[in-house]
Amino acid sequence: MLAGSSMTNFRTIETNGIRLRAAVAGEGPLVVLVHRFPESWAAWRHQIGPIAAAGFKVCAIDCRGYGGSDKPEAIEAYDLENMTADIAGVIDAEGGGAPGVIIGHDWGAHLVWHTALCHPAKVRAVAALSVPFVGVAETALIDAVKPVYADRGKFFYQTYFQQPGVAEAEAEADLTGFIRKFYYWLSGEAPDGLGHGRASTSALLDGLPDPQPFPAWMGDADIGYLVSEFRRSGLRGPINRYRNQHRDVEFLKPWRGRTIDQPALFIGGTRDLVLSMRPGYDMVAAMRAAVPNLEEAMLLEGCGHWTQQERPEAVTARLTNWLCGLSGSRA
């Protein structure tokens, strides 16, 4: 049994014209947890119980395309406009008429930041793991990093994801190997430079090892659960999120220059490759200007990309304390 699953009830939430599966626990002010690629509600397995016990209603969703949620076929169904509306609709459905607190990791962080920006009346406060908000993008990330990667003949996984069917076929051919190699690549235990310098013609998993044993923070049951979820859902929907970068830039034009003004928290890792994706650019410093009510930018020493899984105790404690400190929260 996955940690945290004994305290949860699974329900289907109708939102924005689709149905999302959610693991729900506790009573009180609403906290919505949003995962990244390639994850599920279970990315928050260590946080659900403690946050619920602190006096909150916790709703950890499977994003559209994942697990028990609806899986539209169209690429544009996974754009930022749709996926932020999904989260706003979850707040409407589960929040009892009050705004909610939203917490996300990586793509989930990107989604909660922009839900707070585009649906401010729905969002009471926002916390993000791994990915800072540095202002509304005027250029798609795959274009912004092109001089560093594609123009130098180097591999960049988000560019590799652009051609429908290619990355899906590679990952789905060996889901267990895909999960193990992809997670290890971005973890704090991976050696410096792992995966760097690959040619732009490489496949996603080329040169990535399957560690034996896998780091202890992700057990065989955790890996097996993810494999079973992707075996039934496939990877098309999850990877489609990466294929909407230019559409997202157009959608966000009305919000350019605006800040996110809700109370906010950021937690990252000193070994998270996201923070060095754009060499010479200090994303945390840029975030402080774009999020004026940022309470803290906490960096966990030696932590890689899978923040709340690699450092569950530290992340859970900081999130719970922050939630309990929000005005009007009950402990």
Q: In what order do the strands lie in the sheet with 57-61?
A: 9-15, 18-25, 57-61, 30-34, 100-105, 123-129, 264-269, 294-300
The answer as to whether 23 is a domain residue is yes
The answer as to whether 188 is a domain residue is yes
Q: For tokens 């008429």, name the residue.
A: 97
Q: What is residue 276's predicted lDDT score, i.e. its pLDDT?
A: 86
The answer as to whether 330 is a domain residue is no
The answer as to whether 130 is a domain residue is yes
Burial string for 57-88 (b: 16+ CB within 10 Å, else e) reads bbbbbbbbbbbbbbbbeebebbbbbbbbbbbb
Residues in the chain: 331
Look up the domain containing 80 and give its range: 5-325
The residues of the chain scoring below 70 in pLDDT are: 1-7, 327-331
Q: What is residue 331's predicted lDDT score, i.e. its pLDDT?
A: 40
Give the Cα separation of 57 and 80 in Å (integer): 25
Catalytic residue numbers, as ranges? 106, 305
CATH number of the structural domain spanning residue 205: 3.40.50.1820
Q: What is residue 278's predicted lDDT score, i.e. its pLDDT?
A: 80
Number of structural domains in the chain = 1
The answer as to whether 331 is a domain residue is no
